Structure formats: C-alpha cells, structure tokens
Chain A
Amino acid sequence: DAGVIQSPRHEVTEMGQEVTLRCKPISGHNSLFWYRQTMMRGLELLIYFNNNVPIDDSGMPEDRFSAKMPNASFSTLKIQPSEPRDSAVYFCASSPHRAGELFFGEGSRLTVL
C-alpha cells in the first residue's frame, strides 16, 4: 500500500508568489492533518480535517493560508501571497480515525526567497 503522498517534495519560489502543496492520504483514513516544521517553532499543527470537514484551523497563521479537502483522497494547502517567513517543511499526515496514530508523508520543503 502506498503511504501518504505529498507533492512537490521541494519548492523554491519568490516572495509574493502563490504556493500550492498537495496531499493524498492513505485510502480509508478519515482524518487528515497539516503540520509545519521549522527549527525555531518545531512542529506546528496548522489544520486538521475529519471526514473532509475542517475541525480545527486555529493554527493557520493568517489569511494568506488556506486549506481544502474536496474529497477523501485529496487535500491542498495554499499560501497566497508567500513570504520568506513561510519557508519550512510542510507535512501532511492521515489517520484511520480521530485520535489515532498518524501516518506522515515525506514532507514538502518550501523556500521563499
């Protein structure tokens, strides 16, 4: 079985550009999480979905960030416009049920110049 698939693995962009990160969770999992990891702030929970519905988005930094889950097999995290301080590794993780173990993707490393 394929694990959680994230794309792109690496993205370098310039300040002000739109960035879209994509995630395909494990089939049958009904919870999906987006995290951001930096040296300074560690692993921050941005948003999580259950059955495609956003449950808690209190970690989304500001209006420049948005996340969607149009169906059970796909989610996006969008940053518009991007800023240098958004540079981080963004992880997507899915779980077979709420409060269950998480299966992480390999992450998308974003660099905003």
Chain B
Amino acid sequence: SQQGEEDPQALSIQEGENATMNCSYKTSINNLQWYRQNSGRGLVHLILIRSNEREKHSGRLRVTLDTSKKSSSLLITASRAADTASYFCAVANAGGTSYGKLTFGQGTILTVHP
C-alpha cells in the first residue's frame, strides 16, 4: 500500500490564488519529497525536505513537515495556468534494509483556471 496519502484528491482554483495540498504518512522517514506530473509525462522533482527540517522554500513553493503528526503540506503561491498538473508526495524510508525506498501517494490533481 502507498505510504503517502494526499488530500484533496482534486483542487480547482483561479489563477493568482494559492493552492495547498496535504500529505500524511505512516512510518519513520529520512525525507519527504514532492513531485509534479504533467499529463502523459514522467514525474519531475520539485522539492525535498529532510526529517529534521520543518519548512523549506523554492520559488513559489513552500513545503512544511510535521514529523509528530506525520504530515506535510505543499503550498503553491500565486498560481498560474501552467501549474495545472498532478502533484505527488513521496516518502523515503528512514533505515533498515529498505533505507531509501521511495513510495508515492495517490496524488492531487490541480487545475488552475486562467
């Protein structure tokens, strides 16, 4: 089963608005990553946040991580029509023989209307 669970499953907003997506997971992690997938394409890495970090920024992206709640959120500010895509969180196992195993959530489909 997928370790990351995301909500909402779909999000529809207007250009210029902010979009927030959430991810929850179940076990100890080394890091949590967010990816974007345009229709018919491979996934593209957006940002990685380590288990000892609480917040990270990259351009219009802001990611938070709460390890006590085993949850993360991705905020896209001032959204654009070009941000329309599916967004996935992925968790990297913390240790043991499966260290580095990266499993994905079901994703959030974001639609940004011009």
Q: A45, B45: Cβ atoms under 8 Å?
A: no
Number of interface residues of B (CB under 8 A): 26
Q: A56, B98: Cβ atoms under 8 Å?
A: yes
Q: A107, B92: Cβ atoms under 8 Å?
A: no
Q: How far is the CB of B23 from chain A (nearest CB, A)?
A: 13
5 A-B residue pairs with CB within 8 Å: A56-B101, A95-B100, A99-B100, A104-B44, A105-B42
Cα-based distance from A43 to B92 in the complex (angstroms): 15
Contacts of A44 in B (CB 8 A): 2
Contact of B101 among A48, A101, A103, A107 (CB under 8 A): A48
Q: Which of A84-107 contact B (CB under 8 A)?
A: 91, 93, 95, 98-107
Contacts of A95 in B (CB 8 A): 100
Q: A55, B33: Cβ atoms under 8 Å?
A: no
Q: B107, A33: Cβ atoms under 8 Å?
A: no
Contact of A42 among B2, B92, B93, B102 (CB under 8 A): B2
Q: A43, B104: Cβ atoms under 8 Å?
A: yes
Q: B106, A99: Cβ atoms under 8 Å?
A: no
Contact of A101 among B33, B41, B42 (CB under 8 A): B33
Contacts of B31 in A (CB 8 A): 99
Cα-based distance from A31 to B30 in the complex (angstroms): 16
Q: How far is the CB of B9 from chain A (nearest CB, A)?
A: 11
